[in-house]
Amino acid sequence: MARKSKSNSKPSVRQLDDKTHISSAGIVVEQQITDTIENNFMPYAMSIILSRAIPAIDGFKPSQRKILYMMYKKGLLTSAMAKSANIVGEVMKLNPHGDQAIYETMVRLTKGYEALLHPYVDSKGTFGKVYSRDLAWAASRYTEARLDKICNELFSDIDKDTVDMVDNYDNSMKEPMLLPVTFPTILINPNSGIAAGMACSICSFNLEELCKATIELIKRPKAEIYDILLAPDFSTGGYLLYDRAAIEEIYTTGRGRIKLRAKYRYDKENSCIDIYEIPATTTIEEIIDKVIEKNKEGKFKEINDIRDETGINGLKITIDIKRSTDPDALMTKLFASTPLESAFNANFNVLVNHRNYPKVMGVYEILKEWIEFRSECVRRRTEYELDKYRKHLHLLQGLEKILVDIDKAIAIIRKTEEENEVVPNLMIGFRIDKAQAEYVADIKLRHLNREYILKQLQKIKSLTEGIADREDIIANPKRVNKIIIDELNSVIQKYGKPRKTEIIYSYEEAKDDEQEDIPDYPVTLFFTKEGYFKKVTPQSLRMSNSHMLKENDELLQTVETTNRKELLFFTNKCQCYKTSASFFDDTKISVLGDFVAAKLEMEEGELPLYMAVTDEDYKGSIIFFFENGKAAKVELSAYKTVTKRKKLIKAFSDKSPLVAAVQLEDEKELVLVSSAGKHLLINTAVINVKTTKNTGGVSVMSLKKGQRLFNVRPYEEGEFAKVYRFRAKNLPAAGALLSPDDKSEQITF
């Protein structure tokens, strides 16, 4: 048997009882969790960040760049259209991630999809629409595409060493790391992506405005561009509600929020509203679904019907309304409660070439980085041309020496017996180098005349001037800037378009009038231990005799209030569900009422434990008492949210079971009862407010092992014969057992 090599590091294997055993199996290797993450997750995370989700300074993610470059190599910048399936096949030479992923990426670059202000791909066929969730694109075998004319600005200098070329995934061909774009494409078209632990969301700007702003920054690096680059511009049009503070934040920090609104017109004859441009952040289906949902809730009784009439003439959502309806007032309500007004949350996370990580940058910094990137492209192009001119001039200088005696050159060639000796003999005969001799030797016989050679030598002057000009460009940054400015002006002339998104500087904030539509009247709310809820009017309350309750159920809370009050239901899963009294129908006490868990669509097994009633201002506080004797006091305002969320997680601590919750408008005295029968009288003022909702609280009642806090109730004046026995000077305290003279109920455990 051959002896095993000592270098073999595989664990030894032995056979016992027909089972294979590995000697190192089951050995636990101690390793820092940080090392595990770094060795396993970090390479994956960096791959997503650097190679997939985040765009670079040229405005493209790697997948987009690969598609455009392969279309360029396929000749689709000047030729007729090609089948999309063929394009996808070519791109797989650079991007082996599957044909569907490639095709979907290409679709979003097309003119037909309408996602970009300046599409890079001209398309033929069905490519779906960015503003429709359901309108899908056709299969790649049915559609055709080619590069749009604007791609001339992406590839014009790519063959002049303007950018680095790297190997593709199998080292079979080269691809560019960046494209030498002649205008700031990074801000011309929208781009979004989600990486590991970071994301980007870049809005688009008007090409003419952006190029003019870039020119201004080249001329005056500290210039303000707010009057030139007015605001973002989106392919779906609509209105942009101008907020100078938000614009300044985006321009300086790269983060901010832009409000967008749909455009509409009122058709009086047909009593309908036609919406023909919508925010770029939503779709037709989302808008219609939301309007229908609100209509079912009775919020938009003025609406008779809503439908999608998008067709060959473009986007159109038609809303049929009642003839007595004020269309502008209705649209104001729709803006407030549907995606017809929505916000674009900007996050300008960009991968800059000279860094190996993305950075969130404002418009100013992005344009500065782009100017630096483009300046480097121009310098590299100039150096490429300079090298080419110098080589050509060098060859012509050798030809100039031949002109002195053409017959001698012919004689040297004729008398040389071996072909490989022609170049050395010319080098010796005319004192020229090898490159010059090769050039002379390769001249066709018909060109070995004085006229041809003189014509070639006339190029020496222009080459000399070209070399001097390019040397001056490389040495003079102002000339580089002038070239970039000229290119930007050329782009404006060729591709400039009017804004699609109209800016509104003065506007009325859309407010949800839902509250005003809700009638306000006195009601009494009843909440039971089993989680049933009743809302009863005073008139109905007077007419009813007794409550209907499930067996073993009992009333926990009875609150006299009004129909517009906000309700908070705290559950056994430490969550809070927000709603209002108006959400429940008026009923009688002679019925079971609404089962809150079902009405609010709580999770399986989740039950409400306590109900808090508050106004919109959420004044006051709430105290949670737990079995471990602790209490947590939280401001009600902690449960107030800007958005209309119905469920809040981690509403209170889950470290110990909840015994009771007490809502406070003013401080009050409470009696705490332990499972040992001890009573403790406290004033809620001694418990400090905590800033976090799910705080574990502070110890209030001292408990021995096996004991728990059993009950919490309001203190009734005179129930204790000697109050001082139950009131502690310091907390936590154990409390005292009841005496025969105390009026409080004796609790049996």
Active site residues: 142
Structure tokens at 538: 């005073």
Amino acid letter, residue 493: Q
Mention every residue, 6+ apart, whose C-beta is less than 8 A from residue 503.
Answer: 230, 231, 239, 240, 242
What letter does residue 374 receive in the DSSP assignment? H
How far is 327 from 329, CA to CA, in rounded Å?
A: 6
Output the CA–CA distances (angstroms, integers) from residue 363 to 153, 224, 351, in the order listed. 21, 11, 14
Torsion of CA 500, 151, 100, 133, to 10 degrees: 0
Tell me the two tokens of residue 678: 């001890």
DSSP state of 563: T
Query: Taking the alpha carbons of 625, 626, 628, 630 in that order, is the dihedral positive or negative?
Result: negative
For the chain, what's the residue count? 749
C-alpha distances in Å from residue 238, one per residue of 110, 277, 341, 471: 21, 5, 10, 49
Q: What is the DSSP letter of 269?
A: T
Characterise 404 by phi-psi region: left (phi > 0), alpha (psi -120 to 50), beta (else). Answer: alpha
Please list the residues that pair with 318 across neighbouring strands. Answer: 274, 307
Omega of the bond prior to 732 within 30 degrees of 0, cis? yes
CA dihedral 597, 599, 600, 604 (to 10 degrees): 40
Give Cα separations from 53 to 60, 197, 198, 274, 394 (angstroms). Answer: 10, 11, 9, 37, 47
Distance separating the N- and C-terminal Cα atoms of the chain: 80
**Please, are residues 720 and 671 in contact by the beta-carbon 8 Å criterion?**
no
- What is d(CA 642, CA 645) in angstroms, rounded to the nearest whole number? 8
Q: How many CA atoms lie within 13 A of 284 on its CB side?
A: 25
In this structure, which amino acid lies at residue 432? I
Partners of 522 in beta bridges: 562
Q: Are 172 and 83 in contact (CB under 8 A)?
A: no
